[in-house]
Amino acid sequence: MKILGIDPGIERLGWGIVEKNGSQLARIRSGVKKTSKNQKEDERLWEIFVFLDKLIKKEKPNAVSTEKLFFAKNVKTALVIGEVRGIILAIARKHHLPIKEFAPLGMKMAICGYGRADKRAVANMVKLMLNLPQKELLDDETDALALAIAGTSYPSFP
């Protein structure tokens, strides 16, 4: 089973594909899709749509796992993240992929066994679970891999 984890963001969209075979987890690919602040918002959203469409066609995941927006200090940021989430949900639907959404607390619980774990603890567990090199990944990429890992344990996914 291959899960595409997506950490929604317009400036930096984290993505990671994790494959689960039995109890073994492996990172297939991951990265951060960046868009330019110099572009109009609709152009950036379209760029994300096209990127995810191509990624799904190439990698053929079985499902998508993403983050729920639960709180934002900045209303404008929350609205933009909501728009990116809409693209994620639409692209998953376009490709007939089941989607699981995790609140940050649920994702941390799935990865660390503790919902209040900090970013460093999540990053360390992701590296251990996927046997990654100790090089630092951007938070967005780490979060996407964590979402993909959390998605592999969700019973309704294929």
Residue of 11, 41, 67, 83 marked catalytic: 67
Residue the block writes with tokens 């989430």 = 85
The Cα-based distances of 127 to 33, 62, 118, 138 in angstroms read 20, 23, 15, 13
Q: Determine whether 7 is an active site residue.
A: yes
Residue 47 marked in a binding site: no
Residue 140 marked in a binding site: yes
Q: Determine whether 140 is an active site residue.
A: yes
Backbone angles phi, psi at 26, to 5 degrees: -145, 140
For residue 73, what are its two tokens? Answer: 């200090």
Backbone angles phi, psi at 118, to 5 degrees: -85, 170
Residue 118 marked in a binding site: no
Query: What 3-state class would DSSP assign to 112?
Result: helix
Residue of 41, 136, 140, 143 marked catalytic: 140
Q: Which residues are catalytic?
A: 7, 67, 140
| Binding site, annotated residues | 7, 67, 140
| Binding site, annotated residues for Mg(2+) | 7, 67, 140
